Amino acid sequence: MTLIQIVNTILVLVLGPLVVSCCAALYMAIQRMPTAQRAALEQFSRMAVRHVAQQDIQSNQQELAKAYTVDLFKAFRLPVPSAEVLDVAVGSAMHEIKNNG
Protein backbone atom coordinates (compact mmCIF):
# COMPACT_ATOMS: atom_id res chain seq x y z
CA MET A 1 0.00 0.00 0.00
CA THR A 2 1.12 3.47 -0.72
CA LEU A 3 1.07 6.29 1.77
CA ILE A 4 -1.97 7.87 0.11
CA GLN A 5 -3.94 4.63 0.36
CA ILE A 6 -3.04 4.29 4.04
CA VAL A 7 -4.14 7.88 4.76
CA ASN A 8 -7.39 7.35 2.82
CA THR A 9 -8.13 4.15 4.74
CA ILE A 10 -7.49 5.84 8.08
CA LEU A 11 -9.68 8.80 7.11
CA VAL A 12 -12.55 6.53 6.07
CA LEU A 13 -12.36 4.55 9.31
CA VAL A 14 -12.03 7.59 11.58
CA LEU A 15 -14.23 10.13 9.82
CA GLY A 16 -17.54 8.23 10.20
CA PRO A 17 -17.42 7.79 13.98
CA LEU A 18 -16.05 11.31 14.35
CA VAL A 19 -19.00 12.82 12.48
CA VAL A 20 -21.50 10.75 14.48
CA SER A 21 -19.93 11.74 17.80
CA CYS A 22 -19.88 15.43 16.80
CA CYS A 23 -23.56 15.29 15.88
CA ALA A 24 -24.40 13.61 19.18
CA ALA A 25 -22.44 16.23 21.12
CA LEU A 26 -24.18 19.07 19.28
CA TYR A 27 -27.60 17.52 19.91
CA MET A 28 -26.85 17.24 23.63
CA ALA A 29 -25.58 20.81 23.74
CA ILE A 30 -28.73 22.11 22.03
CA GLN A 31 -30.94 20.23 24.51
CA ARG A 32 -29.15 21.96 27.39
CA MET A 33 -29.66 25.45 25.99
CA PRO A 34 -32.11 27.67 27.87
CA THR A 35 -34.54 27.87 24.95
CA ALA A 36 -34.84 24.09 24.70
CA GLN A 37 -35.05 23.83 28.48
CA ARG A 38 -37.96 26.29 28.58
CA ALA A 39 -39.87 24.26 26.00
CA ALA A 40 -39.17 21.07 27.93
CA LEU A 41 -40.26 22.73 31.19
CA GLU A 42 -43.57 23.81 29.71
CA GLN A 43 -44.23 20.40 28.19
CA PHE A 44 -43.14 18.42 31.25
CA SER A 45 -45.10 20.56 33.70
CA ARG A 46 -48.29 20.18 31.64
CA MET A 47 -47.78 16.44 31.40
CA ALA A 48 -47.22 16.17 35.16
CA VAL A 49 -50.27 18.28 36.04
CA ARG A 50 -52.49 16.24 33.70
CA HIS A 51 -51.17 13.04 35.21
CA VAL A 52 -51.92 14.25 38.74
CA ALA A 53 -55.40 15.38 37.67
CA GLN A 54 -56.13 11.94 36.22
CA GLN A 55 -55.13 10.28 39.48
CA ASP A 56 -57.82 12.30 41.27
CA ILE A 57 -55.63 13.12 44.27
CA GLN A 58 -56.89 16.10 46.25
CA SER A 59 -53.99 16.84 48.61
CA ASN A 60 -50.55 18.12 47.58
CA GLN A 61 -51.32 18.15 43.86
CA GLN A 62 -48.77 20.86 43.18
CA GLU A 63 -45.97 19.10 45.09
CA LEU A 64 -46.71 15.83 43.33
CA ALA A 65 -46.74 17.55 39.93
CA LYS A 66 -43.39 19.20 40.72
CA ALA A 67 -41.92 15.82 41.66
CA TYR A 68 -43.16 14.30 38.39
CA THR A 69 -41.69 17.23 36.45
CA VAL A 70 -38.30 16.71 38.09
CA ASP A 71 -38.53 12.99 37.33
CA LEU A 72 -39.16 13.75 33.65
CA PHE A 73 -36.13 16.06 33.48
CA LYS A 74 -33.98 13.35 35.08
CA ALA A 75 -35.37 10.67 32.76
CA PHE A 76 -34.34 12.71 29.71
CA ARG A 77 -31.00 13.63 31.36
CA LEU A 78 -31.68 17.35 31.17
CA PRO A 79 -30.61 19.86 33.81
CA VAL A 80 -33.35 20.28 36.41
CA PRO A 81 -34.55 23.90 36.82
CA SER A 82 -34.56 25.56 40.22
CA ALA A 83 -37.40 25.02 42.68
CA GLU A 84 -38.78 28.52 42.08
CA VAL A 85 -38.98 27.97 38.33
CA LEU A 86 -40.66 24.59 38.83
CA ASP A 87 -43.16 26.15 41.24
CA VAL A 88 -44.14 28.82 38.72
CA ALA A 89 -44.33 26.40 35.77
CA VAL A 90 -46.45 23.84 37.61
CA GLY A 91 -48.69 26.53 39.09
CA SER A 92 -49.20 28.03 35.66
CA ALA A 93 -49.98 24.64 34.14
CA MET A 94 -52.47 23.88 36.94
CA HIS A 95 -54.24 27.20 36.39
CA GLU A 96 -54.32 26.67 32.63
CA ILE A 97 -55.75 23.17 32.90
CA LYS A 98 -58.38 24.26 35.44
CA ASN A 99 -59.55 27.10 33.23
CA ASN A 100 -59.29 25.39 29.84
CA GLY A 101 -60.17 21.87 30.88
pLDDT digits (tens, 9 = 90+) for 32-53: 768 878 889 999 999 999 999 8
The Cα 85–Cα 5 span in angstroms is 57
Helices vs strands, H then E, count in the chain: 4, 0
Say what the pTM is: 0.68
Query: 5: domain range?
Result: 1-31
Asked whether residue 63 falls in the same domain as residue 99, the answer is yes
Asked whether residue 45 falls in the same domain as residue 72, the answer is yes
The Cα 94–Cα 101 span in angstroms is 10
pLDDT digits (tens, 9 = 90+) for 41-95: 999 999 999 999 888 777 889 999 999 999 999 999 888 988 999 999 999 999 9
Asked whether residue 7 falls in the same domain as residue 18, the answer is yes
